[in-house]
Structure 1
Amino acid sequence: MTKQQRRQYKAIIAGKTYIISGEASLPHFKSTEELLNKQIKQIKVVAPKLSQLDQAILLTFNSISDQLYKQAEIDELREKIDEMQAEINLLQSQKERLKPKKSAVSSIIATAKQESRTRASNKIFKETDK
């Protein structure tokens, strides 16, 4: 997105208004705002004596921790995909090796059959032309 395509979103987070600027869709901004406020409320319940700054730091820590877990999960899935692709490639190469090769004799026989069919067809057409 260019600068002109960036969106501005007015979010209310923990009772304070913020103008968020970014390339995300409006539903994405709204979902992020809702999730953030929900998590702030949860932290306030669990640790009501923490200052707002400490609650925000705890929320940030939790978010980054979640991000690391998700990245590890993505990396693991990509590794599985790579392993499966390698297995598919191996099976395809094994299948290619197992395909019967046309021998010179079978090639000659196939050519002879085709020529025989062609001669028979030509003979039929010549007889009908008379």
Structure 2
Amino acid sequence: MAIQNEKKHYKANLAGKKYTISGNASLPHFKATETLFNKELIQIKTVAPNLSQADQTVLLTFNALSDQLYKQAEIDELQAKIAILEVELQNTQKPKKAFAKREPKNAIGSIIDDAKHDSQARTTDKLFKQGTTNL
């Protein structure tokens, strides 16, 4: 059984020359990369036929790195959107409080807040008891 991090060897034909590529990628990935490389190089040769093969491969490399930067910027933007959506989701999933208790600024404010809370609880208890006796 192959170890997942085991390097594989792939014999690629890049620009008409044989190369042995080593890496952790799958064989279909190596093949797709080889195909894309050769296709892109043919396009560059069509657009700039007077350049040397070395210059054409430099342009291919430059284009690949440019594409990589665009894709990384897109990934960064999507990750930022995901982070915002996760925060919004967490905020919508928080239970709503029946009433918000304000933080007292001093000892007197604390006593007043406690008295209000006790009064509300007594009123609720009294209403509940009245509702059950009428049944």
- Per the alignment, residue 105 of structure 1 pairs with 125
Mapping of 1:53-72 within 5 angstroms? 53-72=54-73
After superposition, the C-alpha distances for 1:26-78 in whole angstroms (9 at most, x for unaligned) are 00000000000000000000000000110010000000000000000000000
Post-superposition shift, 1:24?
A: 0.5
Is residue 2:50 matched to residue 1:49? yes
Question: Helix, strand or coil: the match of 1:11?
Answer: strand
1:13, 1:90 → 2: CA distance? Answer: 53
1:123 counterpart residue number: none
1:112-123 equivalent positions in 2, closer than 5 A: none
**Pair 1:39 & 2:55 matched:** no
1:42/1:99 CA distance change after superposition, 3 Å: farther
Could you tell me how far 1:98 is from its partner in structure 2? 4.6
After the TM superposition, which parts of structure 1 deviate over 6 Å for at least 4 consecutive aligned residues? Answer: none
Give me the whole-angstrom Cα distance separating, in 2, the residues matched to 1:72 and 1:13. Answer: 29
Identity %: 53
Report the AA paired with residue 45 of structure 1.
Answer: T
* SS in structure 2 of the partner of residue 49 of structure 1: coil
Which residue identity is paired with 1:69? Answer: Y
Normalised TM-score (structure 2): 0.69
| CA deviation after TM superposition for structure 1 residue 90, in Å | 1.4
Q: CA RMSD in A?
A: 2.2
Distance 1:22 1:91 in 2: 45
Q: Which runs of 5+ in 1 are unaligned?
A: 113-130
- Deviation string, structure 1 residues 66-113 (Cα, Å, up to 9, x no partner): 0000000000000000010111111122xx12568xx6739x87xx9x
Q: Number of aligned pairs? A: 103
Unaligned runs of 5+ in 2: 100-120
